């Protein structure tokens, strides 16, 4: 199956740039995510971590 994909991709000009762009997007996303986690407000993280445990609503079902 790979030979069919590889054969089609060889005919496209400039196709070698797409894997580089996808790797760059992937890397930037995880760097930003790591930065957000490292600099997140600890009080907000603590509040959000307890949300599933706080069930103050009454379910009519």
The model's pLDDT over 6-59, given as tens digits with 9 standing for 90+, comes to 777 777 788 888 889 999 999 999 999 999 989 989 998 888 888 876 666 666
Coil, strand or helix: which one is 56?
Answer: coil
- Do the Cβ atoms of 15 and 9 come closer than 8 Å? yes
At 29-44, the pLDDT tens digits run 999 999 998 998 999 8
Q: What is the pTM of this model?
A: 0.57
Q: Where are the domains of the chain?
A: 20-50
| Torsion of Cα atoms, 33 then 35 then 37 then 42, to 10° | -150
> Which two tokens mark 27?
């890397």
> If you count DSSP H runs as helices and E runs as strands, how many of each does the chain have, helices first?
3, 0
Sign of the CA dihedral 19, 21, 22, 26? positive
């Amino acid at each position: 199956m790979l030979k069919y994909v590889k054969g089609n991709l060889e005919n496209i000009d400039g196709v070698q740039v797409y894997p580089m762009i996808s790797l760059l997007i992937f890397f930037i996303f995880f760097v930003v995510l790591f930065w957000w986690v490292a600099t997140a407000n600890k009080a907000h993280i603590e509040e959000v971590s307890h949300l599933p445990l706080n069930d103050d609503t009454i379910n009519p079902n």
